[in-house]
Structure 1
Amino acid sequence: MLAHGMVHTYELSIPIFVTIWLAEFEVIAIAGVEVGVTQATLGLVVTAGYGLFGVGALPGGILVDRFGSRRLIAACLFGMGGSFFLLGVAPDLVVVAISLLLWGLAASVYHPAGLTLISKGMEDRGTGFAYHGAAGNVGIGLGPLLAAILLLVFDWTTVATVLAVPAILAGLYALRAEFDETAAVDGVGTDGGEPRTQGGVDSLSQFVTESKLLFAGAFVIVFLIVIANGLFYRGVLTFLPNLLEGLPGFEPIPLAAFVPGVEAGSGRTLKPERYFYAGLLLVGVAGQYLGGKLTDRVPPEYGIAGVFGLLAVLALSFLPVAELGIGPLFALGTVFGITLFAAQPLYQAAVADYTPSGTRGLSYGYTYLGSFGVGALGGAVAGAVLTYADATALFGVLAGFALVASAAAVYLIVRD
């Protein structure tokens, strides 16, 4: 839970910095070539780091099956802290991009390690996913909120350095943690697989064989669901603070209006969109808990179909409701945040249902390759749509991603 909170603290603090980078940097200079900074180009920079967060999950999952979860989680924490220390001294967008790539590499091993630990080490798996997900959303909400508050006083490089400290402390604790990583393994596989409680990938040929076994069954449909989820998730969150800036009720508020000692002409303002964004993420704690508990009560396929169907409706409703004012948007944002994060424990449980325990790390590696690797393209898609079309088109595209996931879950229900 501690590590999951740290991973998402950094992941969802990055969009807070995006609004600053758009204003602070004018060009990206690489090998003497200068490219103008737009939502599209910055979307590609952020997508590179987020993409490695997902792509690295596959080799991370292989390492989990061979070496266990504890050591990889500790390495993840130290790596994330170090990358944000580097971000804190970044003089330009090239170093920002390098920092994000290093963060993505370090963070990529977490989900295969953490979810394998829960699925193989806890008898009450659904409850484990619920608390684990809730902890992630505490980081998802409090990370951006802390960043937004610190930005009232410090510049963004100082804030990045301060954010690096908790991961280092958590890593020191993780080195001391001891537990039985296979306490809940009973030797039973699903989806026609043979019972396997030991395993892992020892060679390239075995990796290919195990991968073929996974994708020969219904896991391929689950993989499609997690890709669609990743595209929706990254597409809506990467530029959300930037989208909110121009909406009614989100005008900057001078700090001098309510903070004693701040001069009226200082130009320092409170950005309401940053706090709305953090609040939307924080209510996801309830969504994670709800989704986790649902997996103990209904087949995850039914939950996935319903949740993504609702997300499609909410995406299409977002801008029309925003025109009604900040009150109605606050209500919709609450439902949106809960629903968005309820999906995660549902598809995590579906992965466990359709894969054998012996290659569970590999299975979750593929899951987060799809969700955070392929799904990272959602940030680039969002940047391109906002640059060459508008926000209405973006939310239409997002609704399409959600409908694909819902339809895939319906297929699983019919197949069964």
Structure 2
Amino acid sequence: MQEGTAIHQREVPPESRIVYRIGINVGDVVVDDGDLLGDGVNIAARLEALAEPGGICIADPVQKQLAGKTDFAFEDTGERPLKNIAQPVRVWRWTREPGLGDTVAPLALPDRPSIAVLPFDNLSGQPEDTYFSDGITEDIVTGLAHFRSLFVIARNSSFAFRGKATSLAEIGQQLGVSYLLEGSVRRAGARVRITAQLIEAATWAHLWAERYDRSLDDIFAVQDEVTTTIVSTLVGRIEDAKLKQSLRKPTVSLAAYDFLLRGIARFRGYSEDDNRQACTFLEKAIANDPNYALAHSYLALARIALHGYGAAPLDIRRASSVMARRGVDLDPQEGGCHRILGQVLLYVRELDVAEHHARRAVELNPNDADGAISMGDLLVTKGHPVEGLAWTEKASASVPLSGLRDFTSTSPS
């Protein structure tokens, strides 16, 4: 399929070519109302994300069944940790031979400073602490996304390079950005060390680097310093109003912040029990800080997800809308709270109010691809497909590699 697709696409302009990633696994699945669930499916999805454009990644059980039955050569890349999979998986990779067709052409650079934040490495010695380093990374992305003078790639695409031996120049080309931020997080007891370095993708030149050794209570101050420095370096000046928005402290409780990150990580997982565990962590975040706006908002969405989104009972949807409103009331300047309230209000059919909050979300955070796709989804639901498509295209511009498949659809079923 990969070779045939490449040959078929030879005469298609590079910007219009179809390029697939393929992941294959053999394992048990659970059939639930016509859908397939379980680690067998989850591993295949993770393998797809690891594959190069035009390539294939397979799990070890597949390689064992293929041995001696095909001329295709798969390279052993060793055991790889996969998100939400308990044990590492040995991954084999096949890459299309040169000449059969080109991969995706480098994206044109935006007309403003453009940056992608690569997932910070977890150096804590505990693989399960990756949620914490991922949370730090995403908070920096969110802080940068407040500035209209920057073009910020969404986390979905930048996180696709985790664990891949891809040069910085190639990452910059595939994401269509001029600058990359990479770093690491090491948490030990009540201390945290964060390193960050800003790199010009084309030349690999280091524009700025810093190491922060702080107590965990200062974690938000470190995020603010990194964001401020990057904006100052790339833009030259900072708009005071936007700076104040990006430097808000989200909670007074580090425990609440930790539980929020755990809850969001579970909410984005694919395992059968992830939504329930997400609710548990988010409830603990609120117990530690009852005024934590984002925790209220994500719990509202997670509870609807736990009960099947549009299929959730009416009392669950109504209770979730009350909780999501509470999130906005607690922090009316947090774009994520407005975005989630707009999503939740779709399920109780308050479409006009939902649109108000969706538009407020993109005003507060103009680079947020989640906000743009939510806006598009809402407008399509309201019967405005052309305007909705424009917002969807805006979202896809911020997610050049992974597309929109990781975004949660908000339309009621």
TM-score normalised by the chain length of structure 1: 0.24
Higher relative contact order (CA 8 A, sep 6+): 1
Structure having the higher helix fraction is 1
Higher strand share: 2
- The TM-score, its normalising length taken from structure 2, stands at 0.24
